[in-house]
A = this chain, B = another copy of it.
Amino acid sequence: MTLRTPYLLFIGDAHDQLAAKTAAGIAFWRPEICLGQLRMPGCKADLQLPDMTIEEAAAAGVKTVIVGTTTRGGVLGQGWEGLLVRALELGMDLASGLHHRLSDITVLRETASRLGRQIADVRHPSREFEIGNGKKRPGKRLLTVGTDCSIGKMFTALALEEEMRARGLRADFRATGQTGIFIAGDGVSIDAVVSDFVSGAVEWLSPANDPDHWDLIEGQGSLFHASYAGVSLALIHGAQPDALVMCHEPTRKHMRGLPHYPLPHLQLCIERNIEAAQLTNPTVRCIGLSINTASLDPAAARDYLRETEDRLGLPCVDPVRSGVRAIINHLLD
């Protein structure tokens, strides 16, 4: 499943900007492939892209309509189906990040099948994977890991890709979640894979490559998250990372969704991730920390980054405020 570009971002009647965060992520990281947005009456989000109808999108050359948001009930809003059928009729594919599959909607599935269009439900794996084999693959790999979920692992991997490419290095972001898949154009929603096959799916996602090529693999969950740590460990083992970057948010009070679980100490979290990764790559090392300091004022953010860098002896950046140059400098040293 590779998504054809460019995209029209369909954000329906998103009730606030956060409800359109998948689409906003695509527009932020890949503005060049986002030709426009389609908003329904009542939509409160704005991606700062040209508003387009389905017909205007087709005329502008859009190849895939991305459905990145949902109504409050979690299903397609009234009148949306007809629009998506029209998109298929005008030659465009559909891609969705909804839990409910677009391909389970009879009229969409049948129209796509009749016209030879693709419907990509990216939360759901579109193929079967082998069991992981743990064999060392050529090429270099960097994996973003975290103290918690939703803490900047995708953002960091994309910022590292941008920085490495700007320096002329060969680097590719590898997506393991829905927003990342839209951005990369392909990938695997790793938490939707049957547990036996997760490390194998990551081996497939990041195959053998040239010795100087870097895969920048999007991490998921955290070894310290009681709900998802198994996903994180299988991802670490399948990725065989040469380098880890630890992501963290210093003001978070507890693990996401688990108010009874505190965040782990950074040093311990780094040690445990290295220990885990050593199973499939004994030479792995942590090359830096990526901190989301959005909740701190600029002075407090600077202090936090400096203090953490001194304490851990590793470059410590905020990809938004300071960029990730220091991490790449350290990696290349």
Residue of B nearest to A258 (CB): B134
Interface size class of A (residues with CB under 8 A): 35 or more
Does residue A249 face the partner (Cβ distance < 8 Å to B)? no
Compute how far the CA of A234 lies from the CA of B228 in the bound complex, rounded to whole angstroms.
7
Cβ-defined contact, A134 with B227, below 8 A: yes
- Kindly supply a per-residue 1/0 record for chain A positions 252-292, scoring 1 wherever the CB is within 8 Å of any chain B CB and 0 otherwise: 00000110110000000000100110011000000000000
Known contacts A191-B196, A234-B195; A261/B226 CB under 8 A: no
Residues of B within 8 A of A258 (CB): 133-134
Residues of B within 8 A of A260 (CB): 134-135
- Kindly supply a per-residue 1/0 record for chain A positions 217-230, scoring 1 wherever the CB is within 8 Å of any chain B CB and 0 otherwise: 00000011011111
Residue of B nearest to A234 (CB): B230
A255 to chain B, nearest CB (A): 8
Q: Which 5 A-B pairs have the closest CB atoms?
A: A230-B234, A134-B226, A191-B196, A230-B230, A195-B195
Q: What 20 new A-B contacts, CB under 8 Å, besides A195-B230, A198-B230? A: A131-B257, A132-B226, A132-B227, A134-B226, A134-B227, A135-B260, A190-B195, A191-B196, A194-B195, A196-B231, A199-B227, A199-B228, A199-B229, A223-B233, A226-B237, A229-B234, A229-B276, A229-B279, A230-B230, A230-B234
